[in-house]
A and B are shown apart, each in its own frame.
Chain A
Amino acid sequence: MLTFLTRRLMSSIPVVLTVLALCFLLVRIAPGSPFATERALDPKTKAYLEEKYGLSGSLPQQIIRYGSNVLHGDLGDSLKFRGRTVVEIIAQSLPRSLLLGSIAFTLALGLGIPMGAWAAARHNKTPDHWLNSIALLTLSIPTFVLAPVAVLFFSFGIPLFPPAGWGTLPQLVLPSLCLALPFVGVCARLTRSGLIETTGADFIRTARAKGVTEKTLILIHALRPAVLPLVAYAGPLAASILTGSLVIEEIFAIPGIGQFFVSGVMNRDVFLVSGVVLIYCVLLLFFNLVTDWLTAILDPRIRAQS
């Protein structure tokens, strides 16, 4: 296991560096300057700023300079939020997105798996059809529609929760529900289809013939192999949901990291964009690793192969 982990970690380093270099390159070759404002900028001032922030010289020189700084733990300064380092921005924003994302992730799995199992146990019956329709609905409604409707009903219709803001627990309820709901549907459908497939397998038929109860059959025997597709899906989902959502953060005024993906690109704030991409990349690699590890635990065939 240790060898496996070490090998995966070592192979991740070039992946991260390549992603960073590509990200830096794409933002730098996009037209427009990070220092441009509606007021004209003196060319000398622009040249001075480029020099100051390490954006002078050729693109390969800039990338090498940036890569070297990253390896020394320096992600650079934000070009738009003057006087702020990228590390400082991430350190303030990421925990908020992590908190919101963790709740949404727990909700997505916590609601999706039981719903899927319940529907699979009633395969092709009315509750299964209902649940399928609900899952499809949650999948199809975009967040930018779901969130304002939720605010309308639960903040103004029945004033249960605040419509936006950050700082109190009730303010977390609507954004985490809206963030989780589309994934609840996906998780439910993946669990349901996995269980239906597994319950048709020979070993389940054997268990059933031996007189194992339906509840034990699903929860003990079938669920474990049935959630494998869900585990494969949950890894990238965790990385994406934990690094924030632009729409949810904007609608609910959540000061998370999600907004910087888009505003950073718009502002050509190359260090900020690269910083948040780095976080996303590391989280994605980490959760892929966790997914592989969980798959090995859940599926004895994979364990045997490795």
Chain B
Amino acid sequence: MATMLEVKNLGISFGGLRAVNAVDMEIEKGMLYGLIGPNGAGKTTIFNLLTGVYKPTDGIIKLDGEDITGKPTIEINKAGVARTFQNIRLFAGISVLDNVKAGLHNHYKYSTLAGICRTPSYRKVEKEMDERAMELLKVFELDKEADYLAANLPYGKQRKLEIARALATDPKILLLDEPAAGMNPNETQELMETIHFVRDNFDMTILLIEHDMKLVAGICEELTVLNFGEVLCQGKTADVLSNPQVITAYLGE
């Protein structure tokens, strides 16, 4: 199998604080990979490094063989990294459909003037965008709510919409930051199915941060456990979760 994401010796310091240190990770194409660890272990910081929100102090990040270290967020997204956020970040004031269409921004184009003058190319491209966006919404069973304001969706659907929007950018790898946060067991179960579905149908590589151990054990094939910004343990999910070090880090002595 080819490697989709390769991280070597990744590290960042904020002033004197070493938030992430010497992290290595290798994620194969099509894998469901989990990043876990106690609060403050540096998981979201790694996501922010992978998406260009922070520039790494040292280390290399390679996506599908291409070096994306230290590039701006927009370029990294264009290269094929899409993400969701721990605290949902939707475009609350526009419709559900428009949220997904915003995700399609760099794949369907017409000029500003064409948009203002409503030229045939505007109509054609908008129609294609509508169709593509509706396809994505159907996958997440959001097509009936397409005209709702994103802010008016229930919590679980907002999470789904965020994933749909990320997928609209046509990424190679999808980063999910605590997708199950704040969900009840039923919603979590449904989410697990959705994630599986995305992986299989979109041929996607998925890296997720999660605290819900049931979800992690249920869907992740491999794990990296972080503690105090460093890799504590890495490997197949079953092996990692039975590692005494990991249990100590999570539950204490």
- Note whether A and B form a binding pair: no
